[in-house]
Structure 1
Amino acid sequence: MSCQTGLVLALLWLMLLYLAPAKGESEIPPRAFLLLHPSWSTTFQGESVKLTCMAVPSSEKGPITWCHNNNVWKTKSEEIQIKDSGYYQCKTQRSHFSEPVHVEFSSDEVILQVSPHPIFEGDDVFLKCQRKSGQLNKATYYKDEKILQSNYSDTIKLFSVSRDSSKYSCTAFWKTMFSILWHKTSKPLKLQIQELFLPPVLMLSPRQPNEGDPVTLTCETRLPPQKSHVQLRFCFFKDGQRLESGCNSSQEIQIPTMRLEDSGSYWCQAEAVAYKIIKSSSRLKIDVLRIPVSDVNLETRPPGGQLIEGENLVLICSVAKGTGTITFSWHKDGTSVSKKTQQSLLAELLIPTVKMQDAGRYYCVADNGGPILSNRKEVTVRGLVSRPVLILRTPRHQAVVGDVVQLHCEASKGSPPIWYQFYHEDITLGNSSAPNGGGASFNFSLTEEGSGNYTCDANNGLGPQRSDRVSLKVIVPVSDIVLSLRAPETQAMVGDEVEIYCEALKGSPPILYQFYHEDMALGNSLAPMGGGASFKFIVTTEHAGNYSCEADNGLEPQRSEVMTFNITGLSAPGASSPSDWQEPSFSRISSTPPQEHLYDGHPAFIELQPIYNNVNPEGLNMVYSQIQSSQPRNGNSANSPRMCQKDKEPVVIYSELRTACCDDSSQQASNHQEGDTEDYENVPRESAVLDH
């Protein structure tokens, strides 16, 4: 391979770097460089110059390739001695050919030498006008045939040279042995100035950015090893505007997220501030591609989409692919719920404190240029039951024992199925379920114990709720009506006040008692708190007959058994004896034994079987009415405080009617009739009479 071919390949490599930057971090391959010793690139014929081939890294071993005017050879040594004019290049195994260096071995009397070598942009350069033999008296220096400087020194200094096509020369002046001033001008010389650094190449990684991708821009260039100490500053531009990152010593910048509007023309600048050298890269057209969204998916939190009313629901909409700004929208049963626009592959929607109406089928839509629908998710919301309402339904205005009553319990809110439990005074009556929601009923027949407070519970597995209490008063119909004679506390005579007592052994108060004599109403009495009631009257002979009473508490009235009170007239004085006494009776007409109807627990009731007879003991002027009463039968005496006598003999009590006189019997009879209306006075009988 010739030196020119190697140079062309190096140039082609640089062009490839410009036109097709590689993915990731790329480097410009290093170039070798030549060192001259002495450092003059022009010298006199017959002298020699040592060339040294250098590369980075300097520790590289291997053969060195040399090139002189298209002649190529290899050496093991990195140094050679030359005496022939021409262009020289070298390379190592891992470098490109160096910049060509022209070395001139001149036969002229005067030459212009340049030092140092190599020369880089911005370097200070020394020009030396050299005569082959002898010294100079004066030298004049030219640039493009224009005088730069004329002095008596053989050397001048050029400051901060730049790469251009200018040619330099000098004219040397010296005196001959005859003091003749002689001069000679050197051939024009073009300075071999190397670039301080190559024009930068803007590198892009990744090579083809998608919307949303992070991108790295690198301004790639390299300083020669001899100038590695030079500080470079880098700037980046897009469409004529400097990027916000500004200019700094970093060769790269990062764009975290490329957007569609980030497409455009980019380039970079590298600046050697101390040398005031600025170089720009070629323009790089960057087209940001948008990837459509795909694989849109909807998830719920909690998973499964089953919630209890009051919990939080999170709807998570995500896409597997998609770039740029994506608009996410959520929908329920075809109705839009919410919308978000963001540069992300995932978006969340929070529905706090869900309610029953939040249940339904949800889906989401992702759109970055074309809407894509997600799968559908069923969200169920189970509502806590509300406090139920208990309704008590009775067949009539007032509940009566035996009525069929319905308890209806209903919670207005709550997810089905709902289980209802019914209570009476916190004791379970029964239960019923409502599989599809709504209320449930429980029917039962009322008993005497049915009065009190009723409640119900509603529970759908999320916690029970109890209703308010509903009170019910059960009316018990009156029954077992007992009419009794309440005996006076002391001895009773005709004309005394007698009390009959009526009591319903069952029945809800208040109870109204009506008393009858031969089905004629005598009067009534109210027992507001229940129990019995009394009716009082003065005993006369007209009071004989049938007595009964009626109890009524608003339902069907009930009547007692009939009790008969018989009274006979008085006998003539002295015409009767104890064996002839008539026995008026006060008895109950009943097909059942009377004692079965007694209210044994009442201390004022005694079962009387009175026998009435008028007597007139001999030797006395008084007529008495004998009232004979038998003792209580069976075991009733144990329950009656008044019947505490242990004697089994009958007790006889006399009631005084009138005083007997000496008038005739008719007068006596008349007086006797009149005496029937008089007051009675009860007196105890003589012991002799009791013995009778």
Structure 2
Amino acid sequence: MAISPSSPPPPINVIAPNPGLRAGGTAQLLGLAGSQPTLLTIDPPWTPLFKGQKVELTCGDHNVSVSTTWYKNGKQWKSTASNRVQLTLSDEVKHQFRCRNRGFELSPAINVNISNAWLVLQVPARAVLEGDALSLRCRAWKDTKLSGVQFSRGKVLLQDRRGDELLLSPAKQEHSGRYHCSGKMHSVIPRWVESSPSELVVQELFSVPELSVEGPQERPEGSALTLLCATRHNALRPHLTLQHLFYQDGLQVAGPQLSPQHQVPALLLSHSGSYSCQVQTESGSVQKRSAQRIITVRRVPVAGVSVQAEPPGAQVVEGDRLVLSCAAAEGTGPLSFSWHRQGRTRPLGTGPRYEIAVTQLGDSDHYHCTATNGISTAESPQLHVTVVAPVSNATIMVAGTEAVGAELVRTAGEGLALSCAVQAGTAPVAFTWLRDGRELGTGPTWHLEALGPEHAGTYQCVATNRVGPQRVFRAHSPTLLIVVTLWGRQRVQALAVGLSVSLLVLLAATAALGWHFWRRRHPAATKSQHRDPTAPPARPAPPVLSTDPSEPEHSNVLLGTPSAGDVLYSTVTITEQRGGASPSPCGLAAPQEPPITYAALPGPQGLQRLPSDSYENTPCA
């Protein structure tokens, strides 16, 4: 039971305030937009205080003197040019003090109780935050000596004491409550006294963190995960530095770190689990952990499986290398691949690549690959692989039989069918026909219903196939000479035409010889006549033809002076004799031609006449 003294207790010694609570530094680090609250401190920093005790209030930084407005019990109390004020507590009441520096917001309140009891339990006058160094004091009036001090919270006796102080460091929220103390006070008459209860409130230094997940909690494997550990600071300690830790299934996976974020760039199935985060002070005196969040990582089904070939298009020349590659557009792994060929049950191989080092014609087929991640499986579309054999050994066939030799003789008017074949070559194969080196046509066959002289020449076929648009293979057949001959009536007609021409040539030659000999026998006829020298030279007169109808007419077709190498030709005109036609000795209806010799005469340079220059038309025997 508390006993009131007969006179007010004297003031006690002033205890220096905590330097870490200076207002200037606190206000500077609030980080709030606009004005910031000012921190108010009191010295001595305890409540309750004894009646008549002197105290000093400081608004803001102890080292800065600025004009200050003071408030007491909710009303404006006074204004001072300094940020400090001293006063004596004379009223046995509860006082609330606040202040404001110019340019700052109103400070938090400090509550100070005034007691006139013999014994009091003092708690800090300023706000107590988690993690603070905290002690409670049991004080007697005029600092009278005490012994056997005991501290209690409600009816629970507390043992953590040192003399007349109860140590509760670091402060925790569970330390909040009503405390009192008791002890033996050694005054004139020693007696046991007990204080009135004092209220202790420990405020949050920061709130319990909340763990948030960006996006859904069920996420596909391979996606990114961002966790945010959010907490709220107490406005009285905005400068507080906190550390963040992250846990999965109770095991620490990140931190301690200043950043409240934790990122996983690519989730795996093993990242599925229960996540939480912890926020703590640098010393670790205050630690708070969030509630758990369940993260589920699921495999992405395999889809979009495709096969790529090298060379592109999966067309390869026999003997070259072929490489097939398998890929999946979707699906999280690890992925497994297998290769398959149409019509075969056993796989050809495993892995994302399948290679045939030396391809053969038998490798042409449909291929596909299968991809699986252990949960889902997908197949690629079929890829048709074509192994191409270049064309080789092209030959020309006649009526289905290979042409033998380099010459083929055919009679005019006959039909002819040529075909081109190759010994090797993958379809499609194109064929081109050449005659005398010029393109004649295309196709595997060349067909004519009736041959003529214009069809004679050297023939060849060219076979072509390709791999893709770039690689082209060609095979040229041996050349074949086609000779077109004339037989029967056509040949007789040709011989008749030839003989007629020969007869005309012989007639011309004979006329020229006759004229030559006539001039030699009649030189006077060729002498020049007297003429006027001033007259222009007369053109030589043509030779005089005989008027005898039975004698042939000759005319020289070469005018002017012959030069070296010129050949003289003459035409001879035969006039048919009058009278009935005699039967042809050859049995022909046409009259018999007289025997005439045609000759080509050499020029004036004395060229020798060759026997082949004379032709003779001889009647039938």
TM-score, normalised by the number of residues in structure 1: 0.43
Name the larger-Rg structure.
1
TM-score, normalised by the number of residues in structure 2: 0.47
> Relative contact order (C-alpha < 8 Å, sep 6+): which is higher?
2
